[in-house]
Amino acid sequence: MINRLTGTTFLGADRRGKYLVLPLDSGDAVMVHLRMSGQLLLAAAGATRPNHTHVVAHLAPGEGQSDEELWFVDPRTFGEVVVFDPDRDPPEIPELARLGVDPLGDPFDAAVLAGLLRGRGRQLKALLLDQHVIAGLGNIYTDEVLHSAKLHPMRLATTLKQADVVRLADSISSILRDAVRSGGSTLSDAQYVDLMGSGGSYQDNHCVYGRGGESCRTCSRSVIARVMQGGRSTHFCPRCQK
């Protein structure tokens, strides 16, 4: 039993990068990170739980409603659920405080991005994946963003022209916005699902991620390349992305 959860009420649901933060009326908050295989599911009380259900929150029923439970399920056990005090100093969850700019939650445009890129001679793929710089982009959306912006994943950030930065900022904003609107990307193993267990549909819009060896949906004259970069698979069109 997570004692600091008992008898409290969820006041809402916020997000910082890939971290969910659910404030409680006690002054505490619940942090949830799904990492690779975590799921947060709403289910009828007493329903059969999947394997690897690590947290069960029993919810008080609303007027005329039936009992429900909130489950945290995570086969690979990389994910986290932590009750913490957001006002404590030093911060109880330092990684939350170290997050970079959230393109959907913070002011974000080409000027902001230019400031983040300044003086960093890093490959774009690694830079966009770095949560301390930009919070929220993972392996799928980094690859999709770079393809949309017509930028090569190994291009050094310091070599970008003003027009490149403008395209990159636009791609980050629009792809994240579209992906959220589509409920995210649910791959064949159906691990990424919403509270009700339903998958998203943005995987149907993928231009490069998971399409290694297939023809480019934009130029149709080249084959999507798949390489390993810093231990992560990277997908790009050698013709479209410079």
Partner DNA sequence: AAACAAACCTGTGCGC
Partner DNA sequence: TGCGCACAGGTTTGTT
Q: Which of 22, 116, 134, 140 binds DNA (CB under 7 A)?
A: 140
Kindly give, in sequence order, each residue whose CB lies less than 8 Å from that of residue 47, ignoring residues fewer than 6 positions away.
Answer: 69
Give me the 10-49 binding string for DNA, x by CB under 7 A, dash otherwise.
-------xx--------------x-xxx------------
For DNA, the closer of residues 61 and 121 by Cβ is 121
Of the ranges 2-10, 23-31, 71-79, 163-171, which one interacts with DNA (CB under 7 A)? 71-79
136: left (phi over 0), alpha (psi -120 to 50) or beta: left
Shortest CB 135 distance to DNA, Å: 8
Closest contact distance (angstroms) between CB of 228 and DNA is 7
How many Å is the Cα radius of gyration of the chain?
Answer: 20
CB of 207 to DNA, least distance (A): 15
d(CA 81, CA 197): 19
The residue length of the chain stands at 242
- DSSP result, 136-188: S--HHHHHHHHHHTT--TTSBGGG--HHHHHHHHHHHHHHHHHHHHTT----T
Choices 23-31, 84-92, 123-131, 167-175 (CB under 7 A): range interacting with DNA:
123-131
> What are the residues binding DNA (CB under 7 A)?
17-18, 33, 35-37, 51-52, 75-78, 95, 98, 119-123, 126, 129, 131-132, 138-140, 156, 187-192, 228-233
